Amino acid sequence: MNIGQASGATGVSQRMIRHYEKIGLIAPPPRRESGYRDYGQADLHRLRFIANARDLGFPIEEIRSLLELWGDRARSSAEVKTLALARADELHRKSVALEGMRTVLLELADHCAGDARPDCPIISRLADDTEK
């Protein structure tokens, strides 16, 4: 199938498919006589794997490691579990930071009159150039 069909079948945009080829996450597929890329089922399976890993927050280099582990039938599941737990820890750290930002924004919004007056604690906070 061509890149448009592969994109439709996997939910991965054509731009991202080309990017994954460029950075070596997927091998460039053979080309038809017309010059169009010709993706097979193995390519689609690999693209879905990458998309699933991205959906779980794995960065490209960790996806590269997961792809290597996926292809290594002699791997230990401990290696995969270690990567997954490390990613879960990082996501937790980020979620705590995001919740902190959300709390600050809600507090600032609570102190903002939200009327026609120009004074606004939200703008004041954003304009504060003192080091935090």
Residue-wise pLDDT for 8-67, tens only, equals: 999 999 999 999 999 999 999 988 888 888 999 999 999 999 999 999 999 999 999 999
Cβ atoms within 10 Å of 103's Cβ, excluding its own: 10
* Integer angstrom CA distances of residue 25 from 8, 50, 84, 104: 19, 8, 19, 39
Whole-angstrom distance, CA of residue 7 vs CA of residue 15: 9
Residue-wise pLDDT for 75-130, tens only, equals: 999 999 999 999 999 999 999 999 999 999 999 999 999 898 888 999 999 998 88
Whether the CB-CB separation of 130 and 117 falls below 8 Å is answered with no
β-bridge partners, 37: 31
Whole-angstrom distance, CA of residue 132 vs CA of residue 32: 57
Is it the case that residue 131 has pLDDT exceeding 80? Answer: no
Report pTM: 0.81
